[in-house]
Amino acid sequence: MNLEAIKPLSVKHLISIADLCLEDVEKIYAVTHFLKANRSTAPKGLADKRLAMMFEKESLRTRVTFDVGMQDLGGSAVYLDYQEVRLGARESIKDVARNMSRWMHGIVARTYRHRTVQDLAKNAEIPVVNGLTDFLHPCQGLTDFFTMTEVLGSVKGRRFAYVGDGNNTCHSLIHAAALQGCHISVASPEGYEPNSRVVNQAMRMAQTSGSEIRIMDDPKEAVKGADCVYTDVWASMGQEDETEERAEIFSPFRVDTSLMSRAASEAIFLHCLPAHRGAEVTSEVIDAPSSKVYQNAENRLHIQKAILYLLMRD
């Protein structure tokens, strides 16, 4: 593959999968395949480029993969935590974005408020990548569907089941499914369903892709015949005080071998990690051969390298 011949994405920033077109996703996957297969020999496409990593939330996978990804591509990363930046508190987001635009070549932001990342993108002259907000997790959603393509081939017409909290990861998975023509069923307890704005937006996207989107409260029905079964933690960062209450509410939504048996015979299991074994998923499921969680975790590195390359190259 001639990376230099690949045209840029249709967007300047990656804030939401819903901002992308199908050609963008296919381009990201193609570059990801190449960079993963040729990690030691691929050209250093971001030589001398600098990435600012601005994190309000703790992180293992996002921090390591963006940092290592920049090194793989010949660039460097500067990590800034909440105490150092304090976006919107110590200094306005506008001024932070303007300063970073003079020093750096890109920003990845992992924040609580989604508006924070949107405001960074609005005011930055350099690309901004959403590394996670309380509303969306686009890099994870793209990674999950890329892993599906590696294991199952094309995701169009496949059945994807998400069981659990209708959170940021769930929202990005809905967007990814709708854009790529994958049928998605989401099972959440009453009151914990995905945001209606996300669902309505995905419904409009599905009119073009042919995706079927179902929101329900029955995990058994959601998983029936699914090619991929997915779950996430019941209490996300910032919801720690709800852990005990959520454990009781979500217990019928635990992914165990019984629930997995309702999926397709060759179904895979995915989780964005970290996982709480015995809570949202049992050890028998996450450690089974059908589980691709660690392959998926590795793919975060390669997907994000592709995103950075396509957004930050000259």
Tens-place pLDDT, residues 5-44: 999 999 999 999 999 999 999 999 999 999 999 999 999 9
In which band, very low, low, confident or very high, does the pLDDT at 87 lie, cut at 50, 70 and 90? Answer: confident
Q: Is residue 113 flagged as an active site residue?
A: no
Q: Is 272 a catalytic residue?
A: yes
CA–CA dist 229, 265 (Å, integer): 12
Q: Enter the tokens of residue 237.
A: 């960062």
**270 pLDDT higher than 90:** yes
Determine how many CB atoms are found less than 10 A away from the CB of residue 204: 10
Catalytic residue status for 19: no
Q: Is the pLDDT of residue 4 over 90?
A: no
How confident is the model over 254-261, as a mean pLDDT? Answer: 98
* Both structure tokens of 83: 């105490």
295 carries an active-site annotation: no
- Output the pLDDT for position 192: 97
232 is catalytic: yes
Report the share of the chain in percent with pLDDT over 70.
Answer: 100
Topology, domain 3-136+298-312: Rossmann fold (3.40.50)
Residue (of 143, 134, 138, 139) closest to 166 by Cα position? 134
In the chain, residues under CATH classification 3.40.50.1370 are: 3-136+298-312, 138-294
Rounded to whole angstroms, the Cα distance separating 85 from 103 reads: 15
The pLDDT value recorded for residue 58 is 87
- Bridge partners of 230, per DSSP, are 162, 270
Q: Which of 72, 232, 254, 302 is catalytic?
A: 232
Superfamily of domain 138-294: Aspartate/ornithine carbamoyltransferase (3.40.50.1370)
